[in-house]
Structure 1
Amino acid sequence: MSGDIISGKHREVAYWSWEVSTGKIKLGKAFSDFFGCKPGDFPKTYKESAPFFSKEDIGQLKETFQAHAGSHGETDFHCVTSHHSVDGEQTFNLQWRGEVIQWDENGEPLLMIGETTKTAQPEPGKVTWRQKAVLFQQMMEYIPDSIYFKDRQSRFLAINKACAEKFGLNSPEEAIGKTDFDFFDDSHAKQARQDEKQVMQTENPIVHKVEKEVTSDNASKERWASTTKLPLYDNEGQVIGTFGITSDITKQKNTEEELQRNDAMISKLSEQVPGFFYLYHYVSKSKSYCPFASHGIRDVCELHPEDVSESIDPIIDRIHKDDVERVKESIFESIKTLKNWKIDFRVNLPNKGLRWLRGKAKPEKQPDGSVMGYGYITDITEEKEIYRINVRLKRQFQAIFDSVPNLIFVKDLQGKYLMANNAFAEFFGYEPENMIGKKDTDFGISEEKAQRFLEADKKVIKNNEPFFIPEDKTKHPDGTDVWHQTIKVPFQHTESNNPAVLSIVTDITQRKKKEAQLSNSLDIIGEQNKRLMNFAHIVSHNLRNHAGSISMVLELFAMEESEEEKKTLLEQLQKAAKRLNETITDLNEIIDEQYKNIHDEKKVSLGEFIDRTKQILTSDIDAHKVTFEENIPETLTFKYNPAYLESILLNLLSNAIKYRHPDRNPVIKIHAYTKGDKVHLDITDNGLGIDLEKHGDKLFGMYKTFHQNENSKGIGLFITKNQIESMGGSIEAESEPGKGTTFKLVLN
């Protein structure tokens, strides 16, 4: 069949080529016939071809080509696209086949050729064999009834997914070659085999046979089924087996049995319920009676069943005079329209006095033209009293509801407002009644926030417990920010009797403002304390370094006999005193500007500050023969706190000298560079090093020392880290015991 279609009038072929590297395409003349246009209208490049394809088809072609090229031709290039003719009157498919015939030295495709076959899409209403096969496969996959095919020995040839699940199999294929004896007890399997023999011999189907099924692995579990079996023919019309469909009717059978039991129970229950069942027969306006009334009529109407067996007048006589005409009219209207009868009315009883009753009935037209009604009447006096009390409480609740300043509202589980008090309506500029039925998004609340509120409401109903939202910022219609605190509780909407959520919202804007003021005050106090402590550390640490340097020069001066050397030492002493004076000047500036922001920086030159630091440490540098290797751009300048920068450099360079290795002269490498808007500074020494696995978490702690140096105070690195981070930068360390340490600084 498919070969006839391909070779017939529905098949047309066109040829094409594509220079992959340039994107040029050449299309055969037949393409213009396909689309009903001129050859000149066709694209000359791959990019120009987009209007002739859908987005999905372009993606499919691209994916197919990539698979073909990626496998170097091992994967076939074959796909189908859908198109319309230029005039829009014809719809057709194009099958694309091709291959890359030329590759470059790197294995990339250069030239591809192929053919395209046009096939008409099936006419509406006609189903192809392929479609039939797909439909059959879907039927086998999704129909919930068991479908099966058997050979002449009643062995399964195929079953559907539902049948496999019924047999407890992982897949339908597991049943092939097996029989009913593998799945059912012998009695059922034997009967099934007899039925299938009969179908094959007579070629007459068995339709909707109700039978009990008992599986072989669980004899106590019974199922009821309705089975239809038919003969299975081959292409020559010979019977080669059977096929059938079995529906599980266990629930139906159970329901039928349940109904039978219920019928027996109704007559007993009618004597116990707080009302009475009745059968009302309307013949004419002058003749109507109740051929049946349960014993409950004695309590509800203070009548006996036989009192109404010939006429309903005894009931009518007990109806309140203000309700009697309304009741009669409702009865006649139900009889006339055959619509269900339902009404609440009052009666005056000899013993109980005034009572409320509710009557219901379903009318049915009889063959003789009369009407039979099947109904029930019950006493609802207590219900009416509760309703009256509820109405009074509702009025009281509404008065409170509308007088409190809190925003109070009720929403259902679809997010629609069922109730809203005056305060809530005024917040959004609405009347309360105009908010009913609307959602949060109708009042300018974002979709994301509205969905969050809805999820919270659903959680309240699911858990049946209150939900507290401590704070939430809402945009007032006038544009100002308002802070709210919300409690949500489960609520039963009396009108719909559906679950809902009651929300009580309190304005906490003033509290939030006071909290913000308090937080700001604490931040200011904390910042002042931080600056004070930092300043104290700077004074202590920096002045101690200068004092130590001056003290060392004086000691050397006292020991030196050479006038030339004394002169040199005096010059060093003058420089140290100058550096001390500059440090004191910087510290005075910090004191003068202690209430200003710490980021009031000055433009500094890193190279100059390193030279100044080396001058401060001249005595130590000369005494310990320290060598510097510097890689600092001459033009590197940036804004920074000068006192902080001097303190940072002084700490790191003095530490590199102080913790030098005893077996070698100190070598300090300084490398600086910029990256983005950051200045990076690496300082490396060949000193003692630090065991970071042991002390890494304490490296920058206050009063933490890691070497037996009597001059170590343990605050230098603590100060340095705080100074760098307060300026928005960072510091890290890399170290290996016995080899040295590198400090990596990012100066913001």
Structure 2
Amino acid sequence: MTSYIIFLTCTFGIIAIYAGLIAFEFSGNGLTAYQELLVFAIFPLIALASHQYGYWSGGVSRRFLRKVIDAVPSMLFVKDRQGRFKLANQALADVYGTTVTDIIGKKDKDFNQDIEELDHFSSDDLHVIENLEDKFIPEEEVTDWKGVTRWYQTVKRPLQFVPGGDVHVLGVATDINETKRLQTELLQAQKMEAIGQLAGGIAHDFNNLLTAILGHTQLLKILAQGQEEILRSVNLVEIAANQAAQLTAKLLAFARKGKHQNKAVNLHEIIEECKLFLERAMKGHSKLHHDLQAETAMVMGDPIQLQQVIMNLVLNAKDAVELKWESDAGEKGEIIVKTRSKSREECLDFEDLPKSGERFIELSVIDNGCGAPQDLTTKIFEPFFTTKEPGKGTGMGLPMVFGIVKSHGGGIAFRSEEGQGSVMTILLPKLNE
């Protein structure tokens, strides 16, 4: 038995079925490279649809083709002018939370309650059918049966099963959520790099000015011996200049231009060194715990800078905890400093996975404080961004942490739920012992 393969009223090939076997040949006449790729990619779908419309039969071939299209990770479907599904694959059924059999004969509105999405689907389908032309949709939203919206890239094209017959729309929709996530991360990385270069340049020039100011304050202190009023003013200038120098050092750390050592460091020892100071800083509404699970915690880096990282993260967590729990006399917030050894395979879903290294030390600071709104989680590493009251924060603590972690070849990620707490996680390449 033979049948022609027809698209847009043009014959592009022929299919032959004999004794349960399928053979097909494409003429290639009139096919662009894009069309040819699409035809080859969806041929099993066309063949199965042809069977459903009665043009050929064969149980073995039908089951084989059914398995083929259900194995395709993209959503495949055929709809008529009224929007009824004439054919669908398992990927589409999974999105709509039903079975392939149940979809046939129904419409998108039977599974999706988003009116805007439904209007968009219907408009695109009718455009393809009425104009007999392909439509490429770079990105569109599709809400699944759980109410979760995902992004898809969709190609739709007209499809006729017989010359002069009803025109249907054939669609292939590919999930692009991971691509969009990577694009967002790339844009954020580029923005942070640009901010870092700007901050580094300003800080370097400002540091030179501060050097001159501090040098002259020392000279003035010598010249003003015995003149207490002048000495008090000079001391105030010196204090302000030193504070500015500390801020400049943080900017340089964020821009990864600060000086640092590079030697073998035991991260657990640094955590223990910070412990005494941090416990004293804890108020009555917060308690610090350690959960150091990593067997060994040796990394290459600067012990002073790594100490700054731990201090900043824990003190930030302390502020979040106190903001939530200070009004509850009987309750206490908790902060946990946790370490674990991890392989690269165990970290593949980490948002900022370092490019090199096979073994990592994962350092997490976990709190049950006030948390942060979702729209702020992408801004916390930007210089001078702070949610604290005026005078209580410079907005340079986390940018400095970000710069130090990056200069140590590590990665950093932040997760937070408003009202529930936050988790700041750092990955540092583990030193081979």
TM-score, length basis structure 2:
0.39
Which of the pair is proportionally richer in strand?
A: 1
Name which structure has the greater RCO, CA cutoff 8 Å, separation 6+. Answer: 2
